[in-house]
Chain A
Amino acid sequence: MSVFLIIFLLFSLAYGGTKLKEVNLENGVKLIIKETKGRGIVAGSIFIKSGTHGEEKRGTTNLMARLLIKGTKTFGSYDIASAFEDWGGSIEASTADDYIYLTFSTRPEGLEQGLRVIESILLEPTFPEEQLQVEKRRVIANIRSRREDGFELAMERLRLITYRGTSYEVAPEGREEDVEKVEREDLIKRWQQVLKGKNIVVAVVGDMPLEELEKRLRTVFSKLPPGEFNLKAEDKPIRESLVERVQREGAQATILCAFEGVSLNSPDFFALRVLNNILGDGMTSKLFSELREKRGYAYATYSAFPIRLYSPRVFTYIGTSPDKKENALKDLLWVVQEAEITNEDLELAKKKIIGAYLLDRQTRGRQAFQLGFWEIMGFGYKMDQEYVKHIENVRLEDVLRVRENLKKAHQCVVVEP
């Protein structure tokens, strides 16, 4: 039996479990519930497919999510936090490019109160004006502080280049000039727009009987409004290579590049997950061995293939001394586009992916997030179990074929002192 199958079978005993259930509510909300055994923890993720898509003022959704946990008709900000923190858990709300998510964790004894609070957050948020002003100032400060960090600054510039004209062009926090203009009415309007049953996935994993979890979740989530908020497809291919240079005082140069990826429904999607791992994940990766170990350019260098609905990209990063930056950029492109990839690289990458994926699911919070994430991104929650098999099936020829995409063009930002 292959190594990854052994790992997979073992972990699925502990983390997969057989007590997993999908419930489709009449209003379109999907519940994914899993029963686990342990010291008494319940964790959940509530996803609302939307993110920044269709925002009129950039940053509205992010502000709205932040304010969800700042007050409702029944509970104040302190009561909301206290319902979870008293049990040692937490509640957070934020916005990614493609979805809003609320994550929570508590002990089984605290779930009843926790769900009362969640129901109130979803159905009767007040978006208090005073808190809106406070959060606007905090968000604007965050947006500005991105320029303090070389990587953040590079990513801000690269988004503008590689996603130009799409909703991803600006990070979910938005633009300073827009955030200033967001009003309470905008938040109310946006919440009404996106809180639609068909856009909502709720994944909960906990040390509680499945039936009991289902009953409690049904009661709360059946009350959400039906309907659907549709996202507009907006694919932006990379047509031409480009390197933009940005000045910033500092001790290092930051190089960040984007390459064309493949879409989520492409047969090559899993091959690109593997290729990304070969190129830039871990100590055996090409970037690490070629740029750090052989050439001593950097302490940190890696690649990432974030899962987004549209305009797929692979990103690569290296932070290096200013005198090495030109060679580092040249060699980074060589590693991504030309360095030899063997069968051994392929097999190792598969094991890395599977191992990291399974180890990441040690906590109930991560398990819930992962189940909900696959569902909201259109793969279906069963991908949580199938992912390993898909990765295992990738062949060297698939990896080499999908690499052709990365050779077409590159867009890079070099932040240099």
Chain B
Amino acid sequence: MAYALAVQDLAKYKLKNGAILVVKHRDDTEAVSLQVWFKVGSIEENYQQKGMAHFLEHMLFNGSEKYPYGEIDRLVEGMGGMMNAATSKEYTFYYITVAKPYWKSALEILYQLTQKPLLSEDMVEKEKPIVIEELRRGKDDPINLLWEEFEKLVYKASPYRYPIIGYEETISKFTRESLLEFFHNYYQPQNMVIVVVGDVEPSEVKSFVEETFGKEVGKPVKRTQYVPEPEQLENRFKEIKDKRLERAYWIIGWRVMPVAVKDYYALLVLDQILGNGRTSIFYKELVEKGLIYSVSSGDFARPRDNIFVISASFDPSRYKEVKERVMQILQELPQTLTDEEVQKAKQRIINSEVFALERAQREAYHIGYSLTVVGLLDYYLYFESNIRSVRKKDVLNVLEKYILTKPYSEILMVPEK
């Protein structure tokens, strides 16, 4: 054990093999959330590997040394637990939420699942049509296509431009060997964060983790060189026509600062003011005045080449008017924004965290994301104080620096009649 840090009932340990364990003790819930995070997502893939991070996530459920195929599902469901996993562009994580008495069994399952998978050839072949169906399901959804196209428009060099799911031609060529190589590099202690939130004793969790995950050998991760996205110098626009559509969908986005840097929190306050909830400016000015049907805004919380987007749906004939009004709202904000509005927005963000953390799994996610993607537990630990310290001038600086003076990318999807 290298070191332990204890803040707010939270214990952070670094195991000898490099794995990080965080245990957050909570006695207000009988549910325990257990999550295992790996810093690997689709941006690590070379062209032949497109879709592999996600495919591997599927494969881990297909049998491990201790539990044959199907056994884990039966065990977790037999404890009344919930198990799933998700792959993003930056991370992959596996989780089980279960009642308190079963946390050890659940952790043992997560250990076998993530560290001892069989990845057998016949299961690789079994999984291919399933993942290809998942891909086609995505293609069947015009909104999913719209977001894929939007990222292709924003990113010209960065691997963020590729879809997580990959392509039929890459998926169909995956083999046991290619998956094993990918697995051995990324699914090991030095690339791993284990998070447990619930009414559990941190030292007991630590001992159990040392006996399982702690036995694995850690080694440096060979990372794919990330190709940064060059500065965007011009506005970009793309229009797509789709026969299935009944209304227009629009996304406009700007390149912004990475997640968790100093001025990032001002962006969150700006986002709250502009597009979050029924009290937001966009809701009041665009939805309630009948110009658009729906609106949302937010950033992608990426550690590099992050983007902030506004998306809306409306009648296709109103595109020009919508864009003009959105731009007008943004341009007028420096004159109209009051200190009170900033104060209220900050309070709303801070208060809504209380609701978000009601579920143990939500808190575990916040911790896992902080350590795996942001690389700092501080993002989780000091989130509230960082929001509290934002001033009106910080919000306006961010608006000026990243949005009003910078080029944007926009995509418009309209019905093809």
Using a CB–CB cutoff of 8 Å, the interface residues on chain A facing chain B are 3-4, 6-7, 10-11, 13-15, 37-41, 69-70, 77-78, 80-82, 85-90, 105, 107, 131, 133-134, 137-138, 141-142, 144-145, 147-150, 248-252, 282-284, 289, 292-293, 296-300, 319-321, 347-348, 351-352, 354-356, 358-359, 362-364
Contact B284 A78 (CB under 8 A): yes
The CB with the most chain A CB atoms within 10 A, among B74, B80, B133, B136, is that of: B80
Q: Could you tell me the distance between the alpha carbons of A150 and B315 in the complex, rounded to whole angstroms?
A: 21
Instruction: Out of B247, B289, B358, name the residue touching A38 (CB < 8 Å).
Output: B358
Give the most central of B98, B128, B351: most A CB within 10 Å: B351
Query: Whole-angstrom distance from the CB of A93 to the nearest CB of chain B?
Result: 11
Shortest distance from the beta carbon of B10 to any chain A beta carbon, whole Å: 15
Contact between A141 and B247, CB atoms less than 8 A apart: yes
Is B350 among interface residues, defined by CB-CB distance under 8 A? yes
Contact A355 B293, beta carbon cutoff 8 Å: no
B131, A150: Cβ atoms closer than 8 Å: no
| One of B82, B137, B246, B277 near A81 (C-beta < 8 A) | B277
B28→A39 contact, CB < 8 A: yes
Check B220 for interface membership: any CB of A closer than 8 A.
no
Are B244 and A148 in contact (CB-based, < 8 A)?
Answer: yes
| Other 7 A-B pairs with CB < 8 A, given A38-B358, A251-B136 | A37-B28, A141-B247, A348-B77, A351-B78, A351-B80, A355-B82, A359-B81
Query: Are B354 and A141 in contact, CB atoms less than 8 angstroms apart?
Result: no
Contacting A at CB under 8 A, from B66-80, are: 70, 73-74, 77-80
Residue B279 at the A interface, CB < 8 A? yes
The answer to whether A319 touches B279, judged by C-beta atoms less than 8 angstroms apart, is no
Contacting B355 at CB < 8 Å: which of A11, A89, A298, A356?
A89
Q: What's the least CB distance linking A105 to chain B, in Å?
A: 6
A164 to B349, CA, bound (A): 46
Type the 1/0 row for B10-40, where 1 means its CB is closer than 8 Å to any CB of A.
0000000000000000001111000000000
In the assembled complex, the Cα of A252 lies from the Cα of B133 at a distance in Å of 8
Residues of B within 8 A of A41 (CB): 354-355, 358
Interface residues of B in 221-272 (CB under 8 A from A): 243-247
Within 330-357 of B, Cβ neighbours of A (below 8 Å) are at 344, 347-355, 357
- Name the segment of B139-147, B185-193, B369-377, B404-412 touching the other chain: B139-147
Contact A351 B77 (CB under 8 A): yes
Enumerate chain B interface residues (CB-CB to A < 8 A): 28-31, 61, 70, 73-74, 77-83, 97-101, 126, 128-131, 133-134, 136-137, 139-143, 243-247, 277-279, 284, 287-290, 293-294, 313, 315, 344, 347-355, 357-360
Asked if A358 contacts B80 (CB within 8 A), the reply is yes
Asked if A299 and B140 make an inter-chain contact with CB atoms under 8 angstroms apart, the answer reads no
A142, A251, A348, A352: which contacts B140 (Cβ < 8 A)?
A: A251
Q: Give 20 A-B contacts (CB < 8 Å), ordered by A residue.
A: A38-B28, A70-B288, A78-B279, A86-B279, A86-B348, A107-B351, A145-B247, A149-B141, A251-B139, A252-B139, A282-B77, A284-B73, A284-B77, A289-B70, A299-B131, A300-B134, A354-B80, A355-B77, A359-B31, A362-B360
Q: Which of A141, A145, A293 contacts B126 (CB 8 A)?
A: A293
Contact A7 B80 (CB under 8 A): yes
CA distance A133 to B290 in the complex (A): 8
Contact flag A141-B139 (CB < 8 Å), given A6-B101, A78-B284, A355-B80 = no
Q: How far is the CB of B109 from the nearest CB of chain A, in Å?
A: 13
Complex Cα gap A149–B99 (Å): 37
Cβ A348 vs Cβ B101 within 8 A:
no
Q: Please, how many angstroms separate the alpha-carbon atoms of A351 and B31 in the complex? A: 15
A78-B284, A82-B279, A134-B290 given as contacts; is B355 within 8 A of A141 (CB)? Answer: no
A387 to B107, CA, bound (A): 29
Q: Is the CB of B358 within 8 A of A362?
A: yes
Whole-angstrom CA separation of A2 from B339 in the bound complex: 58
Closest A residue to B143 by CB, please name it. Answer: A148
Is A6 within 8 A of B133, CB to CB? no
Which residues of B sit under 8 angstroms from A40, Cβ to Cβ?
A: 354
Verify B134–A299 contact, CB threshold 8 A.
yes
A150 touches B140 (CB 8 A): yes
Does A141 contact B99, Cβ atoms closer than 8 Å? Answer: no
Contacts of A133 in B (CB 8 A): 290
Contact present for B74 and A88 (CB under 8 Å): no
Q: With A and B bound together, what is the CA distance between A82 and B341 in angstroms?
A: 11
Q: Which of B130, B279, B290, B293 contacts A85 (CB 8 A)?
A: B279
Q: Which of B29, B130, B139, B278 has the most CB of A within 10 A?
A: B278
Complex alpha-carbon distance, A39 and B141, angstroms:
40
Assess the B246–A321 pair: CB atoms within 8 A. no
Interchain residue pairs A-B with the least CB separation, the first 8: A355-B80, A88-B351, A296-B129, A81-B278, A299-B134, A88-B352, A144-B246, A251-B139
Are B140 and A250 in touch, CB under 8 angstroms? yes
Rounded to whole angstroms, the CA-CA distance of A106 and B296 in the bound complex is 22
Q: Which residues of chain B are near A87, meaning CB under 8 Å?
A: 351
In the complex the two chains form, is A3's CB within 8 Å of B78's CB?
Answer: yes
Closest CB in chain B relative to A48 CB, distance in Å? 21
Beta-carbon contact of A85 and B80 below 8 Å: no
Q: Are B133 and A10 in contact (CB under 8 A)?
A: no
A141, A296, A362: the one contacting B31 at CB < 8 Å is: A362
Chain B residues whose C-beta falls within 8 Å of the C-beta of A38 in the assembled complex = 28, 358
Query: What residue of chain B has the Cβ atom nearest to residue A15's Cβ?
Result: B30
B30 near A6 with CB under 8 A, answer no
Give the residues in chain B near A13, CB-CB below 8 Å.
30
Partner of A283, one of B30, B77, B140, B290: B77
Residue of B nearest to A250 (CB): B140
Please determine whether A250 and B80 come into contact, CB atoms closer than 8 angstroms.
no
A34 to B137, alpha carbons, bound, how many Å? 42
* B140 lies within 8 A of A86 (CB): no
CA of A386 to CA of B397, assembled, Å: 56
Are the C-beta atoms of B97 and A10 separated by less than 8 Å? Answer: no
Residues of A within 8 A of B126 (CB): 293, 296
Decide: A319 and B79 in contact? CB cutoff 8 A: no
Residues in A with CB closer than 8 Å to B344 are 82, 86
Name the residue among A4, A250, A300 with the largest chain B CB count within 10 angstroms: A250
Shortest distance between the CB of A150 and any CB in chain B (Å): 6
With A and B bound together, what is the CA distance between A296 and B124 in angstroms?
A: 12
User: CA–CA, A77 to B288, complex, Å?
Assistant: 9
Residues of A within 8 A of B100 (CB): 10
Complex CA–CA separation, A42 to B279 (angstroms): 20
Q: How far is the CA of A38 from the CA of B360 in the complex (A)?
A: 13
Partner of A355 from the list B81, B245, B284, B357 (CB cut-off 8 Å) is: B81
B30 interface neighbour in A11, A138, A363, Cβ under 8 Å: A11
Q: Which residues of B contact A354 (CB under 8 A)?
A: 80
* Residue of chain A at shortest CB distance from B98: A355
Complex Cα–Cα for A9 and B359 (A):
19
Contact B73 A359 (CB under 8 A): no
Query: Which of A107, A252, A362 makes the CB contact (< 8 A) with B137?
Result: A252
Given the known A-B contacts A252-B140, A355-B79, are A363 and B358 also in contact in the complex, defined by CB atoms under 8 Å? yes
Complex CA–CA separation, A105 to B131 (angstroms): 39
User: A252 contacts B354, CB within 8 Å?
Assistant: no
Q: Which residues of B contact A358 (CB under 8 A)?
A: 80, 99
The residue of chain B having its C-beta at the shortest distance from the C-beta of A350 within the complex is: B80
A13 to B78, CA, bound (A): 21
Interface contact A299-B28, CB-CB below 8 Å: no
User: Which of A3, A86, A249, A320 sits near B243, CB closer than 8 Å?
Assistant: A249
Q: Are A348 and B351 in contact (CB under 8 A)?
A: no
CB-CB < 8 A to B351: which residues of A? 86-89, 107
